[in-house]
């Protein structure tokens, strides 16, 4: 199990009944215990599965699901019908269950024992139609769930369960997620705005405004010795020119001030219990910071980069939806090797089949995706309320495939847009000292970029090398939101039809409600 998930558990409940007698239920129980132990011992599941016994009646189902709701460690429930479990006995329990549900369609034994199979075996091993009975009632009740079909010992079956477990962890984390907006959204920008009340109702997280004056109250309390220690950490962890360590230089002062800003942001995030934040480059305290000393003397790009690497959600220009989504990606990918980041579509490179999009931001890209050790540099940044020399980590991303995602507010619903991308080797950027990635949206630039725009996708997105479409499919299913995928199989006309059909579906669904 992964240490980051050690306080979570998944409950496993087996459906049965007493029609075949107590001895049969004992066998069901024994098989279930063996299966759960096998899943945990496989080394493929990041979160421990806890067997909670057989459910043989409506009362037992309701009690188990009510207990799952009330147990904070339980972040999801797996159900499996070992034998025939009449589905009507699951109705009341399913009506109250608030945790994510996975229906596992499997069987204790792999193959039919052709030479010895008899009616007793048939009666006991009835997953073939017991799971269909259970699947029917879930479908009739319109219960959202993940269905995994396959033999429980097989790697691919366990991998599907593992994906869902990671998504459950991110979902549980989002239910008490606080995002702080340090300043407001950037004026007149549509995609970074949205309905915060609806977001909390549907996705769980809460968004609060925090005036920058409150950040500065923490900034004033930061001790110089702590800043000195953090600057030493910078010099130890990142490549840099030795001249940067000259304490009499302007560049050193900028690094020192960036470290103080990081400590201030850490302090307020910890004090508030926040899991993510946004910034706005037009709101950093007093405009005349040199005179008043009451503000950041530069955009806190270095702080944002480092905080993202530690799991804090981040969104630029007040983009609270991206901040929350990045936090969820970071949670999902704990223990995975390749990294994730908030990114922005910056500029296009038309080059035939290699046409691509340069992903960057002014400064705020997570070093988790860096191809090599990041370099600490100080350069002028002429944007926002602080046009000044600014500290940042400079690097390019790894070459490889990944997936990027965004959530947009369409007024009557949230839509998740997911695009497979291929990160390619960038050319040198001698006059653009920022962190960056260069990718080709799949299946190619024209289709990938075009479908993203047709879907209303943002210029901000949250990227991971380790996640796949399956993670976002599971996430959208748990959340009950629309999700569209752009991948190697996408055709523009079919994608546009899907968007139109979805629009009709959600309009009718809202009207019926």
User: How far is 490 from 441, CA to CA, in rounded Å?
Assistant: 11
By three-state DSSP, how is residue 461 classified?
strand
By three-state DSSP, how is residue 236 classified?
helix
Closest CA to 369 of 326, 410, 408: 326
DSSP string for 153-188 = TSHHHHHHHHHHHHHHHHHHHHTT-EEEEES-PPTT
Feature table: binding site for Mn(2+): 317, 344, 361, 460
The alpha carbon dihedral of 350, 352, 353, 354 has a sign of: negative
User: How far is 320 from 10, CA to CA, in rounded Å?
Assistant: 29
DSSP string for 90-130 = GHHHHHH--S-EEEEE--SSSS--TTT--HHHHHH--HHHH
Spell out the residues 6+ positions from residue 54 whose beta carbon is closer than 8 angstroms to its own. Answer: 13, 14, 15, 16, 25, 28, 29, 32, 60, 82
The alpha carbon dihedral of 449, 455, 457, 462 has a sign of: negative
Feature table: binding site: 317, 344, 361, 460
- Which helix (H) or strand (E) segment holds residue 342: the answer is strand 340-349
By three-state DSSP, how is residue 240 classified?
coil
102 phi, psi to nearest 5 deg: -120, 125
CA distance readout (Å), 479 to 291, 312, 381, 399, 415: 49, 21, 39, 32, 11
End-to-end CA distance of the chain: 42
Is the CB of residue 49 less than 8 Å from the CB of residue 5? no
Per the listing, tokens 């006059």 go with 431
Cis peptide before 443 (omega within 30 of 0): yes
User: How far is 377 from 251, CA to CA, in rounded Å?
Assistant: 9
User: How far is 255 from 232, CA to CA, in rounded Å?
Assistant: 10
| DSSP character at residue 427 | P
User: How far is 429 from 432, CA to CA, in rounded Å?
Assistant: 5
Give burial (CB, 10 Å; 0-12/13-18/19+) of 292.
exposed
Per the listing, tokens 């309390």 go with 221
């Amino acid at each position: 199990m992964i240490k980051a998930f050690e306080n979570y558990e998944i409950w496993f409940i087996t459906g049965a009944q007493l029609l075949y007698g107590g001895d049969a239920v004992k066998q069901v129980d024994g098989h279930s215990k063996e299966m759960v132990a096998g899943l945990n011992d496989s080394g493929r599941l990041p979160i421990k599965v806890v067997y909670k016994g057989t459910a043989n009646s409506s009362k037992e189902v309701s009690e188990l699901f009510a207990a799952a709701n009330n147990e904070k460690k339980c972040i999801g429930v797996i159900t499996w019908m070992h034998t025939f479990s009449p589905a009507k006995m699951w109705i009341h329990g399913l009506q109250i269950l608030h945790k994510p549900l996975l229906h596992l369609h499997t069987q204790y034994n792999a193959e039919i024992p052709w030479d010895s199979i008899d009616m007793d075996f048939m009666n006991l091993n009835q997953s073939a139609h017991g799971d269909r009975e259970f699947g029917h009632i879930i479908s009739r009740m319109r219960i959202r769930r993940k269905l995994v079909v396959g033999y429980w010992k097989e790697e691919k079956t366990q991998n599907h369960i593992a994906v869902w477990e990671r998504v459950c962890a991110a979902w549980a984390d989002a239910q008490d997620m606080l995002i702080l907006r340090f300043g407001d959204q950037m004026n007149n920008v549509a995609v970074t705005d949205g309905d915060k009340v609806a977001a909390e109702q549907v996705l769980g997280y809460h968004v609060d405004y925090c005036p920058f004056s409150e950040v500065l109250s923490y900034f004033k309390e930061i001790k110089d010795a702590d800043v000195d220690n953090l600057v030493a950490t910078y010099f130890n962890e990142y490549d840099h020119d030795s001249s940067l360590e000259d304490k009499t230089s302007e560049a050193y002062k900028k690094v020192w001030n960036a470290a103080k800003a990081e400590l201030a942001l850490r302090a307020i995030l910890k004090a508030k219990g926040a899991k993510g934040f946004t910034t706005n480059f037009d709101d950093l305290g007093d405009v005349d910071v040199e005179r008043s000393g009451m503000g950041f003397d530069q955009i806190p790009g270095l702080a944002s980069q480092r905080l993202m690497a530690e799991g804090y959600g981040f969104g630029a220009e007040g983009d609270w939806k991206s901040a929350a989504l990045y936090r969820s990606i970071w949670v999902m990918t704990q223990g995975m090797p390749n990294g994730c980041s908030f990114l922005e579509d910056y500029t296009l490179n038309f080059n035939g089949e290699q046409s691509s999009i340069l992903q960057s931001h002014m400064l705020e890209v997570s070093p988790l995706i860096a191809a090599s050790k990041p370099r600490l540099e100080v350069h002028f940044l002429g944007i926002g309320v602080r046009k000044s020399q600014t500290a940042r980590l400079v690097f390019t991303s790894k070459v490889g495939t990944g997936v990027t995602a965004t959530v947009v507010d369409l007024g009557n619903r949230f839509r998740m847009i997911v695009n497979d991308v291929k990160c390619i080797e960038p050319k040198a950027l001698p006059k653009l000292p920022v962190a960056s990635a260069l990718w080709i949206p799949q299946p190619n630039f024209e289709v990938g970029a075009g479908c993203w725009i047709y879907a209303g996708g943002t210029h901000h997105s949250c990227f991971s090398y380790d996640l796949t479409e399956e993670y976002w499919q599971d996430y959208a299913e748990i959340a009950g939101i629309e999700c569209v995928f752009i991948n190697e199989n996408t055709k523009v006309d079919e994608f546009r039809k899907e968007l139109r059909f979805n629009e009709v579906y959600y309009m009718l669904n809202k009207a019926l409600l």
